[in-house]
Amino acid sequence: QVQLVESGGGLVQAGGSLRLSCAASGRTFSSYAMGWFRQAPGKEREFVAAISRTGDSISYVDSVKGRFTISRDNAKNTVYLQMNTLKPEDTAVYYCAARNYATYAYASYAYAYWGQGTQVTVSS
């Protein structure tokens, strides 16, 4: 089992940057593929980015490609989401999630473990 804690959210102007972190408890973080999801008010939770257990496979939703970068440091039990050139439509609560598989998934139901979320607000 793994517990996840996100940090790094906040208020930023359009065009700005934020880096989200997700710290995982336990000694088996490297066993988990990790994902970032987001949920805006009145909308369903959506896939943002994901990274495989070893970090050699990564995927992004089209709307963030070229702007967001997911990475992980297995020695620090942490996954990151670097967000650049932020837009107002990126405003949402961002969640990290873990699944005990080598490969990531795009569906939220495929992830067994979730953090509490961190708010990202981008002003225009």
Angular region, 15: left φ>0, alpha ψ -120 to 50, beta rest: left
Question: How many Å from the N-terminal Cα to the C-terminal Cα in the chain?
Answer: 40
Lowest-confidence segment of 21-30, 60-69, 79-88 by average pLDDT: 21-30
Q: Give the pLDDT confidence of 26-44 residue by residue, as tens digits.
A: 778 999 999 999 999 999 9
| 89: Cβ contacts below 8 Å, ≥ 6 apart | 63, 122
Q: Give pLDDT tens digits for 75-87.
A: 999 999 999 999 9
- Torsion-angle region of 42 (φ positive above 0: left; ψ -120 to 50: alpha; else: beta): left
Q: Tens of pLDDT along 94-119?
A: 999 999 999 999 999 999 999 999 99
- Give the number of C-alpha atoms closer than 13 A to the C-alpha of residue 118, restricted to the C-beta side: 19
Cα 119 to chain centroid distance, Å, stands at 12
Q: What distance in Å separates the CA atoms of residue 108 and residue 45, rounded to the nearest whole number?
A: 8
pLDDT at 26: 77
Give me the chain's average pLDDT, please: 97
**C-alpha–C-alpha distance, residues 17 and 2, integer Å:** 28
